[in-house]
């Protein structure tokens, strides 16, 4: 089937069918519905190559990120699902660029005109892709905030405020142990790690709380948790390996909210999946993705827009994992 067949069934001109598909001219709702009904009746799918030549659009959004993501499978899928849903709602497909190409991968998808727009994920503090993105002709949006965001469109969760909110939940404790990202994540120089840590440290100092930072290594999580508990830690702020940490606490015969305090940087789904629901700040991956894609298609529609940094606000959900009131001060060896 061709657009000529669609025009015949719909009783309109072939150019009207073309305008309905390209959106280049305003078409009445009634005419659009008639054309779309004819396309559905004929199971017509426009030829992607011909459509791209006619509109100079590929109808593709490229998502550039390493395959070995520090987000974890669940976090990654939340982002990708929302990005894909938003793309389809705008009649676009998603090209996932997962090779460890770095700058070359970004140059390739943009330089070969493989896409209409680019989303860059797993952003580093000193990300070399930033310099390339400033010169790309296609709209490019970073999910993450590099140290130098000048000239870039960046959107991310407000990790700084999230850190402050979590510390505030434990502000009447004398000492807090942060069970945090390990060397595998730190080595990736991901932008949110130093942002969160600096804000948490600043908030703890302002509250007069000693903050012990313990990087959790993938191979030794349970051993490390046992060690901090044996040393008397009774207020935990967790940003990594949450399930393994909670299970290690339970295996030690302790119950969050009764024997110790435990707060986490975790999605609501993760935080509520335990026997004791956890007080947590969610990173809102779906909200971040929705805002990113809404902004990206706005840039694509308008052709350009002012470079700026947008943050998705942080909020804390209080549950049962924090004891009410100050806890007795336990002498430490």
Q: CB of 58 within 8 A of CB of 95?
A: no
What CATH number was assigned to the domain covering residues 60-158+285-314? 3.40.50.2300
Residue 323 has phi, psi (to 5 degrees) of -70, 145
Q: What is the pLDDT of residue 331?
A: 36
The single residue listed with the structure tokens 């393994």 is 244
What CATH number was assigned to the domain covering residues 3-55? 1.10.260.40
Q: Check residue 197 and report its DSSP letter.
A: H
Q: Check residue 98 and report its DSSP letter.
A: -
The answer to whether 3-55 and 159-282 have equal CATH topology is no
Q: Can you give 4-68 as a three-state secondary structure string?
A: HHHHHHHCCCHHHHHHHHHCCCCCCHHHHHHHHHHHHHCCCCCCHHHHHHHHCCCCEEEEECCCC
Distance CA 36, CA 44 (A): 9
Rounded to 10 deg, the angle between the 242-251 and 221-230 helix axes is: 50
Q: What is the pLDDT of residue 52?
A: 46
- The neighbouring-strand residues paired with 309 are 154
Which residues, other chains included, contact 313 with Cβ-Cβ below 8 Å and sequence gap of 6+?
A: 158, 161
> Tokens in use for 11?
């009783």
Give the chain's residues under pLDDT 70.
1, 22-24, 45-57, 67-75, 99-101, 325-333
Distance CA 178, CA 28 (A): 59
Distance CA 182, CA 180 (A): 6
Q: What is the pLDDT of residue 58?
A: 82
Structural domain spans, the chain:
3-55, 60-158+285-314, 159-282
**The total number of residues written for the chain in this structure:** 333
pTM of the shown model: 0.80
Q: What is the pLDDT of residue 304?
A: 77
Q: What is the pLDDT of residue 158?
A: 98
For domain 159-282, which architecture applies?
3-Layer(aba) Sandwich (3.40)
């Amino acid at each position: 089937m061709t657009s000529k067949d669609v025009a015949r069934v719909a009783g309109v001109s072939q150019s009207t069918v073309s305008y309905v598909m390209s959106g280049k001219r305003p078409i009445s709702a009634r005419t659009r519905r008639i054309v779309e009904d004819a396309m559905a009746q004929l199971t017509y799918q426009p030829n992607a190559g011909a459509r791209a030549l006619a509109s100079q659009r590929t109808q593709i959004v490229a998502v550039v990120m390493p395959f070995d993501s520090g987000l974890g499978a669940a976090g990654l899928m939340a982002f990708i699902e929302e990005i894909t849903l938003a793309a389809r709602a705008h009649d676009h497909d998603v090209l996932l660029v997962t090779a460890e190409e770095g700058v070359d991968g970004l140059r390739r998808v943009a330089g070969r005109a493989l896409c209409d727009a680019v989303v860059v994920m797993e952003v580093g503090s000193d990300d070399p892709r930033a310099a390339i993105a400033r010169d790309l002709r296609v709209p490019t949006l970073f999910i993450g905030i590099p140290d130098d965001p000048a000239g870039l469109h960046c959107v991310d969760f407000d990790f700084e405020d999230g850190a402050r909110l979590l510390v505030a939940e434990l502000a009447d404790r004398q000492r807090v142990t942060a069970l945090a990202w390990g060397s595998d994540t730190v080595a990736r120089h991901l932008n949110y790690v130093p942002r969160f840590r600096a804000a948490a440290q600043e908030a703890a100092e302002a509250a007069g709380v000693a903050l012990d930072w313990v990087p959790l290594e993938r191979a030794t999580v349970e051993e490390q948790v046992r060690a901090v508990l044996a040393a008397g830690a009774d207020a935990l702020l967790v940003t990594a390996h949450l399930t393994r940490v909670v299970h290690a606490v339970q295996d030690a015969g302790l119950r969050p909210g009764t024997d110790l305090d435990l707060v986490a940087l975790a999605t609501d789904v993760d935080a509520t999946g335990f026997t004791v629901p956890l007080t947590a700040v969610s990173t809102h991956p779906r909200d971040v993705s929705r805002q990113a894609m809404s902004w990206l298609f706005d840039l694509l529609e308008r052709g350009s827009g002012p470079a700026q940094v947008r943050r998705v606000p942080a909020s804390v959900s209080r549950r049962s994992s924090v004891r009410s009131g100050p806890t007795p001060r336990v002498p430490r060896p």
